[in-house]
Amino acid sequence: MLYQLEFAPARDIVRDMQPAITLEQFGHWSQGVAAAAKAGSTEEISATFTAAANDLLASDRTYVGLYLRDHSSVTIDDRGPDPWNRNYDAHLYRLDPFFRRFASTRQDFLLPLAALDRGDFQRTAYYRDFYEPSQSFDEITGVFNLDAKAAGYVTFLRFRGAPAFRRQDLALAEAISGATRLVLQQLWHQWRTEQQAGAGYGEDGSALRLSRLSARERQIADLLIDGGSAKSISRSLAISPGTVRNHIKKVYAKLGVHSQVELMAAARAAEL
């Protein structure tokens, strides 16, 4: 089931959601959206928006990020580096049923997990390797196309022990979707700005300085950007994993990045 997204005036939101939320909750939400719109970094946008969203939908966690049309994901941490997010962005996002829907359509959608669960979700590799270890129990995810290159996403999560999301929770997520889209547009703009100003770029912020790398380092950097691991690169180039890891350290040092996820993000921004 695909839910059409429309922006409703604030007075209609409050009226339609009664008695689901209080005016105090709505005030907190409005302040969070306003703070996110004025924020000067992606982390601040994420922190202010997700704190307000958690309160509004009684979520245990809310995540925001970007799905890029080059088939990649960027989750914006709101509390410092999150190992689950990095694991998701490195490779597990490809197994996410919501990402798969994004990859197959250009339409916006806002759906509960039940809409994509055909009864076999708990037997999937994604559930085994990511969803169940993260303590997740239920979710509502919205994906909003921002331009031809990217969509923003928001995920409202409840952990094991919490009640499942109800129909009125989904209706509430739909009611705030206009404001959510605006925040995600701001996130997309700020993320590109930070990537252009970040390490590994020339003075004009236009391209990765791959010319700093040796031929072998450039070869390994390209394989890392394509999602390769030290083990797979070792097999591909017929060199030892230890040698590959040494080259990776030099690549990161020369480009000023600290992980494969950062390297992939910098490469994507350079292409954009």
What is the rounded average pLDDT of the residues 44-60?
94
pLDDT digit string, tens, across residues 147-183: 998 999 999 999 999 999 999 999 999 999 999 999 9
pLDDT at 42: 92
pLDDT at 20: 60
pTM, two decimals, is 0.69
Class of domain 10-196: alpha beta
> With 70 as the cut, is the pLDDT of residue 123 above it?
yes
Residue-range domain boundaries for the chain: 10-196, 206-271
CATH number of 206-271: 1.10.10.10
Do 206-271 and 10-196 have the same topology in CATH? no
User: Residue type for 161, please?
Assistant: G
What is the rounded average pLDDT of the residues 91-103?
90
